[in-house]
Amino acid sequence: METVHRFSFRLLPFSLAERCLKPSSATPRFRNLICGPTSSSNHIPKFIPARKSYSSSFSPIAKAGWFLGLGDKNKTSLPKIVNAGDPVLHEPAREVDPKEIGSDKIQKIIDDMVVAMRNAPGVGLAATQIGIPLRIIVLEDTKEYISYAPKEEIKAQDRRPFDLLVIINPKLKSKSNKTALFFEGCLSVDGFRAVVERHLDVEVVGLDRYGNHIKVDASGWQARILQHECDHLEGTLYVDKMVPRTFRTAENLTLPLAEGCPKLGVC
Ligand SMILES: [Zn+2]
């Protein structure tokens, strides 16, 4: 998922944002990542991700060309993020065979996803966004990214930094009926934003890059990112579920919503 305020937005005025934001009455919750097995033996990488053996090369071939072994491994370009309209973004991705997680191929896909997300920069990415139709997502939010957003927005969105998460075969469920309406963007729909209603509290279970079972309890903005990325794995973009008449360019993000649109904030 795209950072809502990209770096180039730092100098833009945000006074209008306040008019769109309903102050959050929710007390910030600090539920952190909950991993599965916590004994040290379970955290020893089962598949020994020998990073130095992973080639940094990646040939950006959409529609899973790379996964099918069609890539040119001699190229050194960054993983390319595919854009809306590419079929890989509009079809469900397939599960990763747990036995394949330790393979160089899967480990390299994960590495490439992290590189692509950070290079964008974004706060989340699904494998489909680099043309790989597999159920893998990565996400992280940093103090630096958050520092570019207005304080009122950070509070309303319940946005807090969290470390890099890699989730394979994620399964998401909502943990409450509470929802929130906020703008979000997508690296595959670059330059645009729209309001999407998302659950405030979710639980995601899946596997980490070492094949360990993990469970993530998330709320606020992290929960939104998880929903956005898991939607990608179903072939759903945020524009498929946006609130009508809220779609706009990123430059117009802070302009008032059309009359009749629901107010931003916790519902
Ligand atoms: Zn996206």
- Give the whole-angstrom CA distance, residue 175 versus residue 173: 6
Distance (angstroms) between ligand 1 centre and the Cα of 37 equals 30
Rg (CA), the chain: 18
Ligand 1 centre to CA of 10 (Å) is 22
Contact 179, 199 (CB under 8 A): yes
The mean pLDDT of the chain is 80
Cα 129 to ligand 1 centre (Å): 7
User: CA angle, corner 140, sides to 137 and 145, nearest 5?
Assistant: 140
Residue 130 lies in a domain: yes
Of the candidates 183, 114, 189, the one whose C-alpha atom is nearest the C-alpha of residue 149 is 183
In terms of phi and psi (left: phi > 0; alpha: psi -120 to 50; beta: otherwise), the region of 158 is: left
The per-residue pLDDT for 3 is 75
What pLDDT is attached to residue 57?
Answer: 37
Q: How far apart are CA 118 and CA 101, in angstroms?
A: 22
C-alpha 124/C-alpha 134 separation (Å) is 15
Q: Summarize the confidence of residues 38-53 as an average pLDDT.
A: 31
In terms of Cβ atoms closer than 10 Å to its own Cβ (0-12, 13-18, 19+), residue 155 is middle
Mean pLDDT for 134-144 is 97
CA 231 centroid distance within chain:
10
Per the domain annotation, does 177 fall within a domain? yes
The residues whose Cβ lies within 5 A of ligand 1, an ion, are: 186
Domain assignment present for residue 1? The answer is no
Q: Round to whole Å and give the CA distance between 265 and 226.
A: 18
The H-assigned helical ranges of the chain are 15-20, 40-43, 104-119, 143-147, 151-157, 220-233
44 C-alpha to ligand 1 centroid (Å):
31
Residue with more model confidence, 34 or 86: 86
Q: What is the pTM of this model?
A: 0.75
Ligand 1: centre distance to CA 81 (Å): 10
Are the C-beta atoms of 101 and 168 separated by less than 8 Å? yes
Q: For residue 1, report the distance from its CA to the centre of ligand 1, in Å.
A: 4
Residue 113: give its domain's CATH number.
Answer: 3.90.45.10
Closest CA to 159 of 174, 171, 144: 144
Report CA(64)–ligand 1 centroid distance (Å).
Answer: 17
Q: Which of 46-55, 122-131, 137-146 has the lowest mean pLDDT?
A: 46-55
Q: State the residue range of the domain holding 16.
A: 7-266
Structural domain includes residue 2:
no
Residue 126 included in any domain: yes
In a domain, 84, yes or no: yes
Domain count, the chain: 1
Segment 207-245, tens digit of pLDDT: 999 999 999 999 999 999 999 999 999 999 999 999 999
Query: What amino acid positions are annotated as catalytic residues?
Result: 229
